[in-house]
Amino acid sequence: MRGHRAAASRPSRVRARSAAIAAFVVLAAMVPAVASAAGTQEVDAELPYVCTLPSGRQPAEVRVSAAFPDRVEAGEAISPTDVTTTVELPAEAVADLTALKAVTARSATRLTVGVAQNESAAEATWRGTAEPVALPGSGPLTLTATGDVPSVTGQSDGDLTFSAGNLAVDLALSTADGAATDPGSLTVDCSPAEDAPEKGLLATVQVGTETAEPSGSPSSSGSSPGTPDPSSGTPDAPDAPEDRQGDRAPKAAENPPGAAADRDAPPCLYDAEHPPTPASLNAYVTGYTDVKKLDAASLLPPSCMLIEQGNPVDGPPDPDHLVFDTVSYADFHYEGRKETPPFESTFLAFGFTPVKATMVLKQTGPVTIHSRITMRLSDFRTTTDTYVRAPLTLQVTDLEVNGTPLDVGAGCRTEKSLTSLEPDPANHPGDHLVLYGRGEQDLGMPATGYLLLSGGVLSGEATVPAFTGCGAGGENLDRLLTASVSGPGNQIKQVQGQTCSIANPVFGDEFNAPQCTSDLQPHVIPVPER
């Protein structure tokens, strides 16, 4: 995190910065408030984990450091700062990566943190990113990731505990010449070892006045009775929906009967397996993808995206502009899986043979949303450039040629992710799709173009890789699908709808258009554009 510039120097710039930040908040983010704490406790916890690698389950050491307030009042937000997650993978992990001809690895971490107070419990995801590191010639691999984390609010008196749970380490791998390995990415799933102390307790923060004796570090106190076991993947179920308000993220109500059918879109809800945080958004996306070889287009129906919005940080210094960068993360969500609903397309293969295919886009890693907000100090005109990077494979589940069904089998898919020309390959290696959108706004006027919160059009161009695993009963259909579909130059136009902010839902009134349904689904279902 970066501190504010000194107020004594260039006061006019400070006034401009204050006004600009106010406008930025309206445009781009709900920035969590930092609690006004009496003191700060520095946490540096070393925890044993077990990680699943291609060679099998291996022990690993995870170190989590952060700064927490000692005490806050009920209703005050707690925002851990200086959060660092360091993962030491054993030499066996290095051997697994070098077997893929990798020489460097760029990592991103997703640490599940259990938050509990009294009888209430919830979960948050602490995300971090790291610069690429060279793989060592021998010994363990150390990966150090940093990043902002969601704020948490204790609504009543009582100790509030933070406990480390499951950890996912996403690795983007590069060869000696800078190209991506095959595969270009690998996710290492880790869980606390059985001998992890005190269920991975990181810190205890006193909330209000009726609190137990504080713990300044993980080693000075045991877990509170309400502390969940984050390694189980879900927190203990609260007695009532209001009990899940510890992080100001209301529990999403169950989808009422018939709602999905009435809305002509799949449900888009957070649930026990995907609990919301204060930064949680959801939105529908839809659009068309050209299939250049077939001179046709395929329609992606409305698909649910669950989004974790990042906090803004200062971008590159610019004497004439204020620049902010935000990195958010998203997942497709369909029946609990990170994929789109099945969609059907009909083409004329080779110009004369009708082909009907049912397809699904499946994630192979996290979708990242990088937004750079640039505000001109002379008139506060703001532009926002957003790049969405999505590692997605295309799976064919059913195929019919000239009215005759062909059994494609259960594993018919592209060999690797759809790819695009990456504008920043040094910082974003690996195979992935890239979509771009630009938003603009003059001070006091409505925004135009694409913004993460309000949605809009994203566009890009995809190369479809060759297909593999297609066919059953000894019949190989890989060459048929590759010849019909695979290749570069496939234009994409995707439309994202208005997001619903789970922590601050807008249901609509005489002044505001509705953004959320009563059960916290996105109200807006966008219409695809050609």
CA distance 516 to 527: 17
Spans of the chain below 70 pLDDT: 1-38, 155, 197-198, 209-263, 348-353
119 Rama sector, left if φ>0, alpha if ψ -120 to 50, beta otherwise: alpha
Residue 33: Cβ within 10 Å count = 12
Our separate counts of H helices and E strands in the chain read 4, 30
Phi, psi of 295 (to 5 degrees): 50, 50
**Is residue 113 a contact partner of residue 63, using CB atoms and an 8 Å limit?**
no
Q: What is the DSSP string of 231-294?
A: GGSSPPPPSSGGGG-TTS-PPPPPPPTTHHHHHTS-----BTTB---TTEEEEEEEEEEEEGGG
pLDDT in tens, 180-200: 888 877 889 999 988 776 678
In the prediction, which pLDDT does 352 show? 56
CA distance 316 to 324: 8
Identify the architecture of domain 34-243 in CATH: Sandwich (2.60)
CA proximity to 430, closest of 171, 176, 189? 171
The contacts of residue 423 (CB under 8 Å, 6+ apart) are: 387, 434
The gap from C-alpha 401 to its chain's centroid, in whole angstroms, comes to 38
CA distance 275 to 273: 6
In the prediction, which pLDDT does 228 show? 39
Tokens of 498: 């208005």
Quick one: the chain helix, strand, coil %, rounded to 5? 10, 45, 45
Tokens of 203: 């810190």
The contacts of residue 26 (CB under 8 Å, 6+ apart) are: none
CA distance 304 to 284: 5
The gap from C-alpha 293 to its chain's centroid, in whole angstroms, comes to 33
Q: How many residues does the chain have?
A: 530
CA distance 530 to 519: 31
SS3 309: coil
Rg (CA), the chain: 24
SS3 376: strand
Q: How many CA atoms lie within 13 A of 6 on its CB side?
A: 3
CA proximity to 126, closest of 2, 353, 342, 311? 311
CA distance 60 to 293: 48
CA proximity to 300, closest of 529, 13, 480? 529
Tokens of 208: 């209000």
In the prediction, which pLDDT does 393 show? 96
**Is residue 66 a contact partner of residue 150, using CB atoms and an 8 Å limit?**
no
CA distance 456 to 436: 11
In the prediction, which pLDDT does 452 show? 95
362, 364, 368, 369: CA torsion to nearest 10 = -20
SS3 137: coil
User: How is the chain split into domains, by residue range?
Assistant: 34-243, 259-501
